[in-house]
Amino acid sequence: MCSVGLAHVTNEELRDQPESWPVETSDIVFEGKVISVRKDVVRSPVDGTTFARDVVTHPGAVAIVALDENDRVLVVSQYRHPVGHRLIELPAGLRDVDGEPPVETAKRELYEEGHVRAEDWRVLTDVLSSPGMCDEAVRVFLARGITDVPDADRHNGVHEEADMPVSWMPLADIVRAALAGKVQNALLCVGALSAWAASHDGGYESLRPPEAPWTAAERRRRP
CATH of the structural domain 61-218, one choice from 3.40.50.450, 3.90.79.10, 1.10.287.180, 3.10.330.20: 3.90.79.10
The whole-number average pLDDT for the span 183-209 is: 97
Q: Of 89, 113, 119, 161, which is the active-site residue? A: 161
pLDDT digits (tens, 9 = 90+) for 56-115: 999 999 999 999 999 999 999 999 999 999 999 999 999 999 999 999 999 999 999 999
Pairing mode, strands 137-148 and 116-128: antiparallel
Q: Which amino acid is at 52?
A: A
- Say if residue 55's pLDDT is above 90: yes
Q: Which residues pair with 23 in a beta bridge?
A: 42
Predicted pLDDT at 156: 73
Residue spans of the domains in the chain: they are 1-57, 61-218
Known catalytic membership, residue 161: yes
Q: Is the CB of residue 112 less than 8 Å from the CB of residue 96?
A: no
**Dihedrals φ, ψ of 157, to 5°?**
-80, 165
Q: Is the CB of residue 17 less than 8 Å from the CB of residue 2?
A: no
- Say if residue 6's pLDDT is above 70: no
pTM above threshold 0.75: yes
